[in-house]
A and B are shown apart, each in its own frame.
Chain A
Amino acid sequence: MLVRRVTGASMEPSLYDGDIVVARKKMPKIGDVVIVKVDGREVVKRIKSHSPTTLFLLGDNSSASTDSRHYGDVPYASLLGVVTFTFKKKWPFLG
């Protein structure tokens, strides 16, 4: 199990800077939010599509995201976990 703190805005409105995500090793599917290692750095993105060996990842906030549009498909081997739970830093309905 991985526990990570989100930094950046590329996954807004699903994840905001400061949210905590919990990720587990499991089989990912299209639409899952995943943590992958790209160029030595752990990033959080959403799976847009996949091939048997690679994942195509996009940030939900496409205008503020560096993702597979820039670094291409990411090999399955880079997958560290699928986000299964999020602790919001701030719940929207609490203001």
Chain B
Amino acid sequence: MFRFIKPVYAHCDLPCGIYETDTVTTAAATCLRMIEKIEQLGDVSGDIEHHNNFVRAVHIKEEHAQKVKEQLCVLWGDYFKPEHLEKFPDLHTTFWNAVKQASKVKQTVSREECESLIEQVAHIADMFVQSKA
């Protein structure tokens, strides 16, 4: 339907080649902040407002952990190239573990698991900087 109407383009014309690690770093930090909020809320069973905030915090943690996974996969699959393996021989394991760690952050409200994710993401951000050097 409406094929006769002239198109106006809202495209990404080509892979833009612009990559960054700020988004993944911020998303991982957001997960930790949400875990802190969940801890602060404590038992929310008796208070509907607290319960609402608890659900929101869990939802945001889930959303940002997913964002971490997506951003990692873009960096891993699109930015890093086979030639980077020479400089970073454990590149695949590093990304694989970090993506799995993001899943652990979804599954738990563990500060330790989230701090581990932040460390792994920081290591990847460092690899990203080094790869451009």
Q: Which residue of A lies closest to B15 (CB)?
A: A66
Interface residue ranges, B against A (CB under 8 Å) = 2-3, 5-14, 16, 18
B14 neighbours in A (Cβ, 8 Å): 66
| In the bound complex, CA of A27 to CA of B84 (Å) | 49
Known: A18-B2, A20-B2, A69-B18. A4 touches B8 (CB 8 A): yes
Majority SS of interface residues in chain B? Answer: loop
Q: Which residue of B lies closest to A71 (CB)?
A: B13
With A18-B2, A20-B2 known to touch, is A10 a contact of B8 (CB < 8 Å)? no
Determine whether the beta carbon of A6 is less than 8 Å from that of B2: no
Picked from A20, A42, A64, A69, the residue with its CB within 8 Å of the CB of B9 is: A42
For the A-B complex with A20-B5, A66-B13 known, give 18 more contacts whose Cβ atoms are closer than 8 Å.
Answer: A5-B6, A6-B7, A6-B8, A7-B11, A9-B10, A9-B12, A10-B10, A10-B12, A15-B10, A20-B2, A21-B8, A42-B6, A59-B10, A63-B12, A64-B12, A65-B10, A65-B11, A89-B2
Does A44 have its Cβ within 8 Å of any Cβ on chain B?
Answer: yes
A74 within 8 A of B: no
